[in-house]
Amino acid sequence: MRGVGGRRMGLISSKMMTPTQLQQCCAEDLAVQTIGYTLQTADGRRAGRIEDILYDDEDGVIRYLVVDTSTAEFIVNQPRVLLPATLCCPDHGRRTVRSRAGAEQVQAAPRYDPAVALTRAYEESVFTNFGEHPYWPT
């Protein structure tokens, strides 16, 4: 993502999106309305609640769901984790996001701190934890 002067920008939290970005983002199935939904793992366990989404405005896609793990039905040592959006499918009728990730993967996910800028190394650790390939060319 390029910002003013061509500088690379980070992913955008839904809390910081412009009305235009929100409109573009909401065209996707995993949209801002999934904030507050329960996250369910592949093995059917509650992993927490969707606290935010991180949107890539350059490519026009949601990259990550921010998961507040305080309501998980299993122990997660991190208060927040990122889950690649490619692993998720919303069920709007049940206000749930189903994930292909298992409980063990959520437990092992690296901590997400919204006050710290994401680095490629951190993003790579997220994708590696979930057995996925990063979205950028390698």
pTM of the model: 0.81
For residue 93, what is the domain's CATH number?
3.90.50.10
Look at residue 108 and tell me if it is in a domain: yes
- 29: which residues sit within 8 A by CB, 6+ positions away? 89, 90
**Three-class SS string for 68-80?**
EHHHCCCCCCCCE
pLDDT in the model for residue 60? 77
Residue type, 116: V
Look at residue 138 and tell me if it is in a domain: no
Give the number of residues written for the chain. 138
Look at residue 60 and tell me if it is in a domain: yes
Look at residue 109 and tell me if it is in a domain: yes
> Among 17-21, 62-66, 70-74, 109-113, which stretch is predicted with the lowest mean pLDDT?
17-21
The CA distance from 94 to 53, in Å, is 19
What's the pLDDT band for 19 if we cut at 50, 70, 90? low
**Which tens digits make up the pLDDT trace of 45-58?**
999 999 999 888 78
pLDDT in the model for residue 57? 77
Domain ranges, residue 76: 12-129
Percent of the chain clearing pLDDT 90 (strictly above): 55
Look at residue 5 and tell me if it is in a domain: no
> How many separate domains does the chain show?
1
Pairwise pLDDT comparison (33 vs 27), residue with the higher score: 33
pLDDT in the model for residue 52? 92
| Chain mean position to CA 42 | 16
Look at residue 91 and tell me if it is in a domain: yes
